[in-house]
Structure 1
Amino acid sequence: MGNVEQCVKALSQGGVIAYPTEGVFGVGCDPDNAQAIQALLNVKERDRAKGLILIAADLAQLDGYIDMSRLSEETQADVLASWPGPVTWVMPAGKKITDWVSGQFDTVAVRVSDHTDVQALCTAFGKPITSTSANLSGEEPCRSVEEVDAQLGDRVACILEGKTGGLERPTEIRDARSGKVLRQG
């Protein structure tokens, strides 16, 4: 268990952390550290081709990770109107995105979260972090610190103490280019 400072230290050292989000606990790492991403994929027993979500404290943190210029003004307005909040958008990938994050895609899923713990974590870290549900592939996502500790405690460097935002399901995912809902929230 840990606080924001301890989790940021773990992120800076290439560690994988767990933290509460809007609906479930997430696990994440530094999106610019290939070794950290490989460690995250190992923790999750997840296929690299699937890609990962990036979560941020604000739009400025996503600069270089997404290419908003490839979206219409109307779509940009829709994205901005939904943030901060529990909507993840699949966007054209920016120059900072590697296939470690995007997987087999030329896009990246991103969210500006309104969860206070995510805001504090990303602000203290100074950039977005990767996000995927805190669970082994095929298992139910963890919804409490205790569940994370029981399922993944020996696999993560730090678990940020806190509570989820209370959503019953993981966040909604929308494709910014087509407008389609890819996962209901």
Structure 2
Amino acid sequence: MTYQSAQQAFLAGGLIAYPTEAVFGVGCDPDNKQSLERLLAMKQRDPNKGLILLASSFEQLMPYIDHTRLTPDMISAMLSQWPNGVTQVVPKAVNLAPLLSGQFESIAVRVTDQPDVVALCDSVGRPIVSTSANLSGVEPATTWQKLDPQLIEQLDYVIKGTTLGFDKPSTIIDAISGQCYR
């Protein structure tokens, strides 16, 4: 599998399906407003809900978060949860696109070591938007073979890798308060 095709689709504003820890995700370039709008329309997702950013490193997430509101101890605690399986809600950067954060003053972020996602994020030098690869209200696909044909028609690229085998979607916690949302 070549990541060049996935990279080209990402940089061209395409929507990409890819394996995560437990399910297949679908995402796009977080810096491309048209891609974000297209993703939300395809998913039939309320733009007020906000989205998750999935990255190969904490450094890739820095432009999207307000790290001035995180103490060194908070950052250390965040990093101890990664990679994998834990999405953390953090203060959003001042100029963050509203489609990423929805109605919130925060952004949900996660660092993974899923090799396909790591390769894509490293090749484009930034995170990918991550939401489950399904229409709202429908069970997410756990393999690329189980992707909804209606969804596949609207995708620009599918990374045909495998999930890390987690048995449930990521836990979502508030990085400042420790509150668990999921």
TM-score by length of 1: 0.94
Return the letter of the residue paired with 1:56. Answer: A
Residue aligning to 2:37: 38
Return the letter of the residue paired with 1:41. Answer: L
TM-score by length of 2: 0.95
Distance 2:42 2:94 in 1: 27
**1:8–1:85 distance in 2 versus 1, CA, 3 Å:** same
1:23 lines up with 2:22 in the alignment: yes
Name whichever of 62-71 and 29-38 sits farther off: 62-71
Distance 2:137 2:148 in 1: 17
Return the letter of the residue paired with 1:117. Answer: D
CA-atom RMSD in angstroms: 1.3
Residue aligning to 2:147: 148
The size of the alignment, in residue pairs, is 182
Residue aligning to 1:67: 66
Residue aligning to 1:169: 168
Give the deviation of 1:151 after TM superposition. 4.6
Distance 1:3 1:36 in 2: 22
Distance 2:74 2:126 in 1: 24
Residue aligning to 1:5: 4
Structure 1 segments of 4+ aligned residues over 4 angstroms from their partners: none
**1:70–1:62 distance in 2 versus 1, CA, 3 Å:** same
Give the deviation of 1:96 after TM superposition. 4.8
Unaligned runs of 5+ residues in structure 2 are none
Report the secondary structure of 1:63's partner residue.
helix
Distance 1:45 1:143 in 2: 20
Cα deviations across residues 107-135 of structure 1 (Å, max 9, x unaligned)?
00001111111111100111111000000
Distance 2:94 2:56 in 1: 20
Distance 1:35 1:121 in 2: 20
Residue aligning to 2:130: 131
Distance 2:19 2:158 in 1: 9
Give the deviation of 1:168 after TM superposition. 1.0
Identity between Structure 1 and Structure 2 (%):
47
* Counterpart contact for 1:90–1:109, Cα < 8 Å: yes
* Counterpart contact for 2:134–2:148, Cα < 8 Å: no
**1:130–1:102 distance in 2 versus 1, CA, 3 Å:** same
